[in-house]
Structure 1
Amino acid sequence: MSDDIPHNWAFSTLGELVEHKKGKVPKAFSNGPADGFVPYIDIEAFETGFVKRFATTQKTTISTQDDVLLVWDGARFGLSGVFGTGALGSTLVRLRSDALERDYLLHFVRHHYRLINSRPRGTGTPHVEPDVFWPLQIGVPPIAEQQRIVERVETLFARLDKGEETVREVQKLLTRYRQSVLKSAVTGQLTADWRAQREGQLESGRDLLARILETRKEHWQGRRGDKKPVKPDIADLFELPEGWVWTSVDQILRAGLSNGRSVPDAEGEGFPVMRLTSLKDGLIDTSERKAGRWTFSEAEPYLIEQGDVLVSRGNGSKQLVGRGGLVADAVDPVAYPDTMIRIPISLEYLSPHWFVQLWNSPFMRSFVETAAKTTAGIYKINQGDIRSFPVPLPPLAEQVEIANLVSEAHAKTVDLERWCETELKRSASLRQSILKDAFAGKLVPQDPNDEPASDLLARIAAQKPAAKKTRRKTPS
């Protein structure tokens, strides 16, 4: 492999070139700057740049702006960056090298992030695997060429940054547009002209709700859960258009809400159960499934039906908990898992496409996110929360019109959204290509007047005290 690099380069490994020292928990902290204390660089400070505490300089690992920092332990292991002077927390490692410019080393480590992060040590808290990290082979250019490489990389990356910033602005505009459409759909503004053209021709929402409640009462009478449905609290809600009425999720159900069931994976054949990943952009992708270790009779109460709306019970992100998807088409028998709640709306009187659009609208999201409770870092909602959520109910014909208009508006954004995703992936790929060329000596021309890297490494070796060539201790 050394034959593939320029003649004035050398070839080595991180283990040979880089000195490292792991951080530790300091003996004392201060909430503000004080004599003998420096910024404490824990994982939060490293990622955000915001320092909350200061640590004593005694018996701590001090890093400077000339060091590369690497997350060695935890879920973020493999991330690298730079910081100012500070005391390193115990999950971080300081990297230094006399043979490598700081930013050259930083770009190299970042270039190999996927490899480092995909091969951890440990089954509990993951760590960087020393046998993966330290043997990484690196081409060493002359110092002057390293500086030219870094300058060229950062120039090209700055251009990509501008392009990505533009694409992300487009994504924000698309999100705002879709939210604006949903807001106007929920308030009735989207169909104001359509409604005016049909004045006096539509069944009112109030009459529609009365029929839903009567049917609900007939179907539920004498059954478990037979009790008056929860009415919505409309004290602080907006005024509805003429012909609409406020109701609650509970009032428009054809059956009770129900959680799915937790099912272990089948080692061989089993009855299929969907995965949480089946929730995709307001729809349920029933191909996202696994074989569960249970029988058809055990799964039967949890079989999904066309028109069902399924929502996620929990998620680590409040913005994702409670997201809903529609079973839009008839499906072969498959059950929903315990990570979902089924909302069986009254299909005789409601458009399921309209309901799932309403459910994922900013209006309904505000109720979901307010109701979500966190346990061990997971946000969850429950059936009691969902039953009480208010629903602005239009006539059935208007529900269908709203669903069509929202779908048409969404379709206009799909191609542009896909273009944005493609461009961001293309930019990420270009970054990797730039770094690949950089570390192969193909990004900038070589200067014959540069000191060869072999001379640099020889001089560094001569300046170091003699030591046994044993592998240095790696962070645990």
Structure 2
Amino acid sequence: MSEKELPAGWVRARLDEIAEVRLGRQRSPKNHSGDQMRPYLRAANVGWDGLKIGDVKEMNFTDDEVAIYRLAKGDIVLGEASGSASEVGKPAIWNDEIEDCCFQNTLIRVRSHLVNPKYLLHYLRYEALSGAFVEGSRGVGIHHLGAAKLSSWPMRIPPLAEQHRIAEALEGHLSRLDAAVATVRNSRKRLAILRKTALLDLVPEEAPDSWTASTVEQAGTVELGRARHPDWHHGPEMHPYLRVANVFEDRIDTSDVMEMDFSGIFEKYRLHPGDVLLNEGQSPHLVGRPALYRGMPPDVAFTNSLLRFKANSDVMPEWALMVFRRHLHARRFMREVRITTNIAHLSSKRLKVIEFPIPPLDVQKQLVMRCDELLSGIDVMDREAARTLTRADNLRRAVLNRAFTGALVAQDPTDEPATALLARIQADRDAQPKAKRARRTPAAPRKAKTPAPAPDPTPAPTHAVQQEFDL
């Protein structure tokens, strides 16, 4: 958020000056059972649309721990960490949905002191949506916001009466926007059903007698791309390559194409127009996601996160793409995957045995044309829906930006300024009894040990025998 001059009556403050910030309780196998099992929230329970309490877990909390980690109405919980940058710091408000519910250390709790909790929720949501939280996070792969970082987060605090007006205005604007977004998302779901229905009708599970019942291996060749290695990040024969992040359903994204050294082996992995690329490693429902390489970008190779299918002469590449899209939507690939570290893998061996119906070439051409007619209309509507969602996101940010720069509602010069609110918060904190540390009882001085008496000397034997040994 820009550091322009604040509206009259507003003040800047750290989050921990207006709220208590606390990281949740850590999970441990020893707490998976016990006689004091309590419900708790985790990051998976926090969504952009609010809390998801349909799958709340339990673990053992002592009474003392419940006193620390129990959620109270108006508390805000934020995702402490995420592998997705757009999810870091995602907040939701707690409204006493479950009795004696606590929270885990994948969440940070913000408990406001006198500040309007809904104003605070929308402010933190704006910071998350704008990407500010991920910019302030740490970690590689997993972005951690951290309770300490959040505690020092800069806030813009309007007068308390204006907080109420801002929160009320935002509730009205955003509820209407949320309703419109929900309608568009439902439309996209219906379009996805139409797309699936079209593909399953055009590529039936039971092939007509005039078609050839084949397998992927019999319909063409399957090859795995080249493995990546740090040693090949630089070299004499640098070439661009495609990876799983570039291959979407019937679309190749060329906005982020990387390069590596293919010295002596480029032709082996070079793509040719008509090659079909499939995701080898992905989330289970996206594994096998296919796209047809049509020559762009030119002179490009592919890595082992992708599989390449080269169709035989009796198979049109466009028909092969239809077959693979059909299998994707029918979740046929999911029956062949193996999951390692949460990533589903579709090996070339398992892909080769999947069924691949082959109609006569003239029938293939007719079905490909029919598919283009049906899906092109669906794709146009889907792209327009996606643009509408993007515009809705931009509108949401604009509304929130106006709210927290003092432009959404009118200022009232009779409002008590926020400086007085901060002074009351500090006075309330000062009035709270200080938690006394339990004084350790000094250990009693150790007594010096009395040395043990020396043992009595062993008496000499009355008869000594002298032995002689031969040298």
TM-score under structure 1 length normalisation: 0.78
Matched, 1:273 2:288: no
Q: Where do residues 205-216 of structure 1 align in structure 2 (5 Å cutoff)?
A: none
The match for 1:91 is 106
SS of match in other structure, 2:132 = helix
d(CA) in 2 for partners of 1:101, 1:164: 26
1:311 matched residue in structure 2: 278
Q: Quote the residue 2:321 is aligned against.
A: 356
| Counterpart selection for 1:301 from 264, 268, 271 | 268
Letter aligned with residue 415 of structure 2: D
Contact preservation (8 Å) 2:18, 2:425:
no
Tell me if 1:323 matches 2:289: yes
In the alignment, is the contact (CA less than 8 A) between 2:240 and 2:301 conserved in 1? Answer: yes
After superposition, the C-alpha distances for 1:78-113 in whole angstroms (9 at most, x for unaligned) are: 222223442221222221222421111111111111
Aligned pair in 2 of structure 1 residues 66, 57: CA closer, same or farther (>3 Å)?
farther
Give the whole-Å Cα distance in 1 for the aligned partners of 2:197 and 2:26.
Answer: 49
Aligned-partner Cα distance in 2 for 1:331–1:125 = 31
State the SS of the aligned residue for 1:360. Answer: helix
Q: Is the 8 A contact 1:69 1:80 kept in 2?
A: yes
In the alignment, which residue of structure 1 is the partner of 2:14? 13
Instruction: Output the amino acid matched with 2:249.
Output: D
| Cα distance in 2 between the residues matched to 1:155 and 1:89 | 32
Aligned to 2:351, the other structure's residue is in SS state helix
SS of equivalent to 2:89: coil
Does 2:227 align with 1:262? yes
Partner-residue secondary structure (3-state), 1:459: helix
> Match of 1:79?
90
Secondary structure of 2:202's match?
helix
Structure 1, residues 203-257: CA drift from partner, whole Å, max 9, x if none?
Answer: xxxxxxxxxxxxxxxxxxxxxxxxxxxxxxxxxx53x33522321112222xx42
- Counterpart selection for 1:335 from 298, 301, 314: 301
User: How far, CA to CA, are the matches of 1:388 and 1:145 in structure 2?
Assistant: 66
Structure 2 unaligned blocks of 5 or more: 433-471
* Distance of 2:296 and 2:16 partners within structure 1: 58
1:328 and 1:90, CA in 2 relative to 1: closer, same or farther beyond 3 A? same
Deviations 1:428-472, CA, capped at 9 Å, x for gaps: 1111111111112221223444333222222222333289xxxxx
- In structure 1, the partner of 2:134 is 117
Q: For 1:151, give the aligned amino acid.
A: E
Identity of aligned residues (%): 28
Query: What is the DSSP-based 3-state SS (H/G/I as helix, E as strand, rest coil) of the residue aligned with 2:245?
Result: helix
**Cα deviations by residue, 1:344-399 (Å, 9 ceiling, x for unpaired):** 210x2111111101111157743211111111100011122211111222110110
Q: Indicate conservation of the 8 Å contact 1:77/1:128, yes or no.
A: yes
Q: Note the residue ranges of structure 1 that are not aligned, 5 or more in a row.
A: 188-236, 468-476
Letter of the aligned partner of 1:273 in structure 2? Answer: Y
The offset of 1:311, in angstroms, is 0.9
Partners of 1:140 and 1:284 in 2: CA distance: 46
- Matched with 1:153 is 170
Please state how far the C-alpha of 1:275 moved relative to its aligned partner: 2.7
Deviations 1:302-343 (A, max 9, x none): 12222111211111x212111111122487432211111111
Equivalent residues in 2 for 1:42-441, closer than 5 Å: 42-46=42-46, 48-49=52-53, 50-60=55-65, 61-75=69-83, 77-83=88-94, 84=96, 85-113=100-128, 114-123=131-140, 125-128=142-145, 133-187=150-204, 238=206, 240-253=207-220, 256-264=221-229, 266-267=233-234, 270-284=238-252, 289-295=257-263, 297-315=264-282, 317-329=283-295, 332-346=298-312, 348-362=313-327, 365-441=330-406
Question: Structure 1 residues 344 and 21 mapped into 2: Cα distance closer, same or farther (>3 Å)?
Answer: same
SS of the residue corresponding to residue 25 of structure 1 reads coil
Distance 1:139 1:364 in 2: 48
C-alpha deviation, 1:138, in angstroms: 2.5
Residue 340 of structure 1 aligns with an amino acid whose one-letter code is L
- Report if aligned partners of 2:315, 2:358 keep a CA contact under 8 Å in 1: no
Write the letter of the residue equivalent to 2:195: R
1:86 alignment partner AA: C
What is the alpha-carbon distance in structure 1 between the residues aligned to residue 423 and residue 182 of structure 2? 44
**2:176 alignment partner AA:** R
Q: Deviations over 1:169-213 (max 9, x none)?
A: 2212221222222122113xxxxxxxxxxxxxxxxxxxxxxxxxx
Stretch moving more, 397-406 or 72-81: 72-81
2:280–2:345 CA contact under 8 A, matched in 1: yes
Amino acid at match of 2:113: D
* SS of equivalent to 2:60: strand
Partner of 2:408: 443
Please give the alpha-carbon distance, in whole angstroms, between the structure 1 residues aligned to 2:106 and 2:298.
49
Q: Which stretch shows the higher mean deviation, 281-290 or 396-405?
A: 281-290
CA contact (8 A) 2:21 2:147 kept: no
TM-score by length of 2: 0.79
Most deviating of 90-99 and 156-165: 90-99
Match of 1:470 in 2: none
The aligned amino acid for 1:20 is V
Q: Is the 8 A contact 1:26 1:56 kept in 2?
A: no
Contact kept? 2:18, 2:112, Cα under 8 Å: yes
- The amino acid of 1:11's aligned partner reads R
Rounded to whole Å, the distance in 2 between the matches of 1:362 and 1:411 is 19
CA RMSD of aligned residues (A): 2.8
Against the structure 1 CA distance between its residues 323 and 142, is the aligned structure 2 distance closer, same or farther, given a 3 Å change threshold?
A: same
Amino acid at match of 1:290: M
Aligned residues: 410
Matched-pair contact (CA < 8 Å) for 2:327–2:333: no
